[in-house]
Structure 1
């Protein structure tokens, strides 16, 4: 029994260490210009990263995945007023609600917009722990070149995210492989 517990503990620690490297240690992709910046729903700091990118002239379009959970008041207000509070110059703001409300649904929205608007390159903003899985899902739906940008999160959210991302990645790679 003791060796079984030791083995289980070893597997958990190894999975967490590998997950930490896979989900948290990723660097931002370099990008100087893109057709659009897409901010995925979730963490509160994601919108700020997207706004900084369009203000720096990276893209003329900012796509914001609307938060239907009611936990991100800034994003809700931003989309309700069409982004006017951000005082963006020469930037089109597009807010969309993904259906289903998930990264998979957001991937479909991104693909539809990319096809309709003939986008070749997209910068995707999400929490760093989410970048690996988000990139895999979006790549299933579009041929546009993706650059991934991580938004900062509190340390405790990163700690919780590693096992959650393993579970979500397992689903995405087994039972939910379509776009």
Structure 2
């Protein structure tokens, strides 16, 4: 009886254990969550808790609509001589100057002489594009930026990218809800902050890529305006 020679099985690399793969995925996710948490804390550290008068005057003032009392605070700065003119950026196309005038009875005289309305901007990025056009037309080299405290970091990212040669002086508006209760005790405020943080990170990434010559999307300012209904006398989606 002929005996068959033993045949060695072909070499095969052992499959990595599933436990190792699972640990790698968990570690990667943990790093992402830790990084996001640290970034969120850094974002929160930029938010002012009280309103502070601008440290200096500027050539002009721009207010980005979308939050309560932003426009009225900007008008008070204009009345106080902090800027020569005010741009209200993000006014709904259907709103007239008279609509804003009725909501600001104490400063109606300023609307006729020193206030410009931008009805083209529909978001923060197009706010920056329209503000750049307005500032260049008037030769302004410094601007006081008025918007809500939670919106200010993203607004500064967009505005400084659009106008690197213009000095930006932030004036953060503090809403009543922010004053009345800590943000961590309100689910609605926490969701707002998380949403704004995500938008802020996206804006930072897009701006950095744009600096490298990589545009992620066309200018939002080219999109048709008027798709957002007004929430008040002068509002836009930010």
Partner residue, 1:163: 198
Which 5+ residue runs of structure 1 have no aligned equivalent?
71-75
Residues 177, 125 of structure 1: CA spacing in aligned structure 2 closer, same or farther, 3 A cutoff? farther
Match of 1:36 among 32, 35, 60: 60
Q: Between Structure 1 and Structure 2, how many residues are aligned?
A: 171
C-alpha RMSD of the superposition: 3.2
Secondary structure of 1:81's aligned partner: helix
Once residues 21 and 45 of structure 1 are traced to their aligned partners in structure 2, the CA distance between those partners, rounded to angstroms, is 26
Which has the greater radius of gyration? Answer: 2
2: CA distance, partners of 1:172 / 1:44: 28
> What secondary structure, in the 3-state scheme, does the structure 2 residue paired with 1:146 have?
strand
| Distance in structure 2 (CA, Å) of the matches to 1:10 and 1:29 | 39
1:113 match: secondary structure: helix
**What's the TM-score, normalizing by structure 1?**
0.74
Pick aligned residue for 1:53 from 51, 58, 77 = 77
Alignment of 1:12-161 (within 5 A): 12-22=33-43, 24-26=45-47, 30-68=54-92, 80-81=97-98, 83-85=100-102, 86=104, 87-88=106-107, 89-90=109-110, 92-99=114-121, 101-142=122-163, 143-153=165-175, 154=178, 155=183, 156=189, 157-161=192-196
Shift in CA distance, 6/44, structure 1 to aligned 2, threshold 3 Å? farther
- Separation of aligned partners in 1, 2:77 and 2:135: 18
- How far does residue 125 in structure 1 lie from its aligned partner after superposition? 1.3
- 8 A contact 2:158–2:203 mirrored in 1: no
